[in-house]
Amino acid sequence: MNRNSLTNTNKFLVLIGLGVLLALTGCGGGDADPAAAEITAPVFGGDETGASYLGADRCLNCHQQYTPEPVSKYLASRHVQPGTVDAGADPACLSCHDPLGDGPMIAPWLSGVDLPPAGLAAVGCENCHGAGPQHLTMIPAHPNSEPDFNACGQCHTALPSGPAGHIGKLTEDILAKYQASAHGSSLLAGITLPLCARCHSDQGFRAYGPQTVGMEGAELENALNGAATVANPAHIQCRTCHDGHNGELRAQAAPGFSRQFNLCAACHQVFLTTTFSPTDGVYSYLLDTDKTPFHGSLDDSGRPLFDGRVIWDTHFPTEDGRIIGYRVNPAAANACTLCHDPHAAINW
C-alpha cells in the first residue's frame, strides 16, 4: 500500500497518523493499547451508548498484521470496492453505503483500483463490529466479535426504491424475509448436541460443517460422536451461508457441482453419481441410494422413502428415471435459487 497516495482532509491525515503510530507501538498482541486513553473526542460520531467510532483505518493498521485473511477479504469485497455511490452522494444514500464516513480513509488501502474523484464510499469494520474504543482497551475482548443478522439487517433491509442497484428478487428486504423463513424461525436452532447442531444452527455448521463435507448419515453420526457440544447455538443466518468479510458462500464448487448446490446440500443432503459426456460437455446425475442422508431412509424396494425432512425423495431422478418433483441441475450457479429464494427459503 502506498501511503503517499493519501489526498484526503486533515482530519483523516491526523487519524491515520495516529493509526500508524499505533501500528508501531500498540499492537502488543493481547495488551491494552497504550494510546487508547488519548482517544477522547468522537471522530465519526458515537453509537447509542456514547462510544465513539474510530474509523476502519485503526482496525486495518493492526489487523493487517494479526489477521491478514479477513482484512484482505474485506478489502476485496463489494462493501469496500468502488461502486456507483461515492462519498459525494446524498447523505440519505450514505446512511447505508458509508454510514460513518470512513470510506475515504480506507481508499489508500486499495491498490490498482480506480477511485471515484468524490472519494470512496465504503462499509467500515465498525458498521458490523460496533464502535471502536473497547477494541483498544480490552484487546482481544472486542465488543461484537461475531456480528449477527441484526448487524447485516441494518442495511440489508427494505431498500429505497429508485436506484437500479436495489431492484431484483434477491435484494428486496432480505432481513424481513429471512426472519420469517424456516432458517430464521426454526424452533430446533437451540439444540446443543453436535450432530443436530451441525445442520440446525449457525455455530454448529461453522464449527463442524467444513470437516464433515460429503459424509452420509451414519458417517456423520460416527464423526460427531463425542464431539464438543455447541454452546449457545443460534439460528442459521447470514454469517452461516456467507463469509462475513467478502460475502461469498461458505462452500466450494466441485466438477459437476456449483458452490450454491454444495452449500444447500451440505445440510439438505443428497448423494448423486455423475456421468460426464465429453461430446455435450454436460454432466448427468442419478441418485446414489448406497448413501443415505441423515434424515433419509429407504423402502423395501431400495427407493428413497418419502420423508418431508429430505430433498432426495423430491428433487432427483432414480435409476428407473422416475422423479417425484423438481429436476435440479447441480452444476448450475443457481441450482436452488432457480426456484427458491435462499433468504425466504420458500419458492419465488
Window 143-172: residues binding ligand HEC (CB under 6 A): 145-147, 149, 151-157, 159-160, 162-166, 168, 170-171
On whether the CB atoms of residues 313 and 307 are closer than 8 A, the answer is: yes
CA 311, CA 325: separation in Å to the nearest integer?
A: 9
Residue 26 or 108 with smaller CB distance to ligand HEC: 26
| Identity at 185, one-letter amino acid code | S
Interface with ligand HEC, residue 3, by CB under 6 A: no
Using the rule CB under 6 A, which residue among 74, 208, 257, 285 binds ligand HEC? 74
Residue 13 or 188 with smaller CB distance to ligand HEC: 188
Residue nearest to ligand HEC (CB): 165
By CB under 6 A, the count of residues binding ligand HEC is 119
Cell of 53: 467510532
Residue 246 or 278 with smaller CB distance to ligand HEC: 246
Q: What's the distance, Cα to Cα, between the start and end of the chain in Å?
A: 44
Residue with cell 498484521: 65
Interface with ligand HEC, residue 16, by CB under 6 A: no
Where does residue 11 rank: exposed (0-12), middle (13-18), buried (19+ CB within 10 A)? middle
Q: How far is the CB of 250 from ligand HEC (least distance, A)?
A: 8
Residues 88-147, interacting with ligand HEC (CB under 6 A): 90, 92-93, 95-97, 99, 123, 125-129, 132, 135-136, 139-142, 145-147
Residue with cell 452444476: 331
| Identity at 165, one-letter amino acid code | G
Cell of 239: 454469517
CA 325, CA 342: separation in Å to the nearest integer?
A: 19
Using the rule CB under 6 A, which residue among 29, 117, 281, 321 binds ligand HEC? 29
Residues 179-238, interacting with ligand HEC (CB under 6 A): 182-183, 186, 188, 193, 195-196, 198-200, 205, 220, 236-238
**How many other CB atoms are there within 10 angstroms of residue 152's CB atom?**
21
Q: How far is the CB of 29 from ligand HEC (least distance, A)?
A: 5
Interface with ligand HEC, residue 265, by CB under 6 A: yes
Q: Computed over its alpha carbons, how large is the radius of gyration of the chain?
A: 24
Cell of 302: 431400495
Interface with ligand HEC, residue 58, by CB under 6 A: yes
Close Cβ partners of 79 (under 8 Å, ≥ 6 residues apart)? 122, 123, 247
Using the rule CB under 6 A, which residue among 39, 43, 241, 287 binds ligand HEC? 241
On whether the CB atoms of residues 97 and 81 are closer than 8 A, the answer is: no
Interface with ligand HEC, residue 308, by CB under 6 A: yes
Residue 6 or 27 with smaller CB distance to ligand HEC: 27
Where does residue 195 rank: exposed (0-12), middle (13-18), buried (19+ CB within 10 A)? buried
Q: How far is the CB of 2 from ligand HEC (least distance, A)?
A: 18
Using the rule CB under 6 A, which residue among 103, 269, 287, 304 binds ligand HEC? 269
Residue 234 or 249 with smaller CB distance to ligand HEC: 249
